[in-house]
Amino acid sequence: MSSERNRGRVRTVEEWLGRLSSRDAGAREEALSALEELLVSGAPESRERTARALLEELGRPGTAVAEPLLFLLQRGWWPPQAGLTGLALQSVLAVLTRMDAESPALEHAATVLTMVCRVDPSQLAALEGLFQHPQASVRSAMARVVGRLGTAASSALPTLLKLLDDEEPVALSALESVAALALLAPDLTAPRLLEEVRRTDGARLYLALVALRGLLHELFTDELPVPALPGLESAILRTLGAPEAPIRQEAAAVLGVSGPLSPAAIAALREHLRDESPYVAARSAVALVSAGAPAAEALFLLKGQLGPAASRELQEAAVAALEDADPSQLGRARGMLETVARDAAGLTREALFELLGQLP
């Protein structure tokens, strides 16, 4: 844009929009930069004119620049002008109906819709009917939007839970949003997340475990009642044997926040102190300490992982597991942590002393 000014001529918004579809990558990059500058700087009236032009082009049938426009809007259009929220909703939905449910641009579309709803909450009511839209891309975007609006979207939570039965891209978006909203209605979300743990695998199982662990941890931290979850431990023990290390890691962490452990659970966690993944081993050790189970073997493992002779990976695994636990449950590890902290160095030393300061 500065080169145009130096020659005494400034392109219009419409001209920059035309250059977004240029075959020349340099011209496209220049147009993106210029349009972003117009969107975020200058007089309010000028910024609104730019936003309107972008939204009108976005909603134009046959536009070839939907993806860069969505990128620009989610990056630089804040706060959206109240007078443009209706146009934004219409334009983004028009693009979504033509988009694949697994397109990377769907994330940008969902972000723009979220921004619009934050400025104009009345638009959320218009979106709620789209949970049943025939296009998976629209349903997936709606699921993402709801999860980012917090309490404002609490009324949509039952509908969001139904999307967990949808096709994979939609269900994954819904699961991420259920995780974000789970604490709003634990009696609804906790049993549903446990059901996801029982019936899924791969990425969905991992996300369900992360969400369930986060919810149980928040309930414990806030001293809120935990909903009845029959069969929780047996379901988690099944996933503790998964071939994927991240899933085993999350399963161990869930056991650490799920209350008193049965002898079978304690035995399984002790077995995973020897897991090939140091992250799984560390989470298993912290779970045993947190749950009040016999912990001599677990503390010995953590001491070894945190020692000065341990590799960076081993130290990071132990620190991450300890930092994710509730400090109020780690009192039994104080002596071990004080010992290793004295000999530790660098970031590991800093992390350990910070953790020690949080222990009861």
Concatenated DSSP letters for 150-218? Answer: GGGGGGGHHHHHHGGGS-HHHHHHHHHHHHHHGGG-HHHHHHHHHHHHHH--HHHHHHHHHHHHHHHHH
Mean pLDDT of 322-341: 95
pLDDT, position 226: 95
Q: Summarize pLDDT for 253-305 with one digit per residue, the tens.
A: 999 999 899 999 999 999 999 999 999 999 999 999 999 999 999 999 999 99
Domain boundaries, the chain: 1-146, 231-360
Alpha helices in 60-121 (DSSP H): 66-76, 85-96, 105-119
**What is the spatial distance between Cα 228 and Cα 209, in angstroms, rounded to a whole number?**
17
Q: Which CATH class is domain 1-146?
A: mainly alpha
Tell me whether the CATH fold assigned to 1-146 matches the one assigned to 231-360: yes
pLDDT tier for residue 27 given thresholds of 50, 70 and 90: very high
CA distances for 307 relative to 136, 281, 300, 314, angstroms = 50, 15, 11, 9
**What is the spatial distance between Cα 322 and Cα 124, in angstroms, rounded to a whole number?**
40
pLDDT, position 129: 86
Output the six-digit token pair for 20.
């977004």
For residue 1, pLDDT over 60 is answered with no
Q: Summarize pLDDT for 42-97 with one digit per residue, the tens.
A: 899 999 999 999 999 999 999 999 999 999 999 999 999 999 999 999 999 999 99
User: Using an 8 Å Cβ cutoff, are 254 and 290 in contact?
Assistant: no
**What is the spatial distance between Cα 45 and Cα 9, in angstroms, rounded to a whole number?**
21
User: Using an 8 Å Cβ cutoff, are 119 and 86 in contact?
Assistant: no
Mean pLDDT of 2-26: 79
CA distances for 268 relative to 261, 275, 288, 302, 320, angstroms = 10, 11, 10, 17, 21
pLDDT, position 130: 93
H/E segment holding residue 153: none
Concatenated DSSP letters for 128-152? Answer: HGGGG-SSHHHHHHHHHHHHHSGGG
* Architecture of the domain made up of 231-360: Alpha Horseshoe (1.25)
Task: Report percent pLDDT > 90 for the chain.
Answer: 92
pLDDT, position 8: 52
The mean pLDDT of the chain is: 94
**What is the spatial distance between Cα 333 and Cα 221, in angstroms, rounded to a whole number?**
19
Output the six-digit token pair for 327.
């400090």
User: Using an 8 Å Cβ cutoff, are 353 and 320 in contact?
Assistant: no
Question: pTM for the full model?
Answer: 0.88
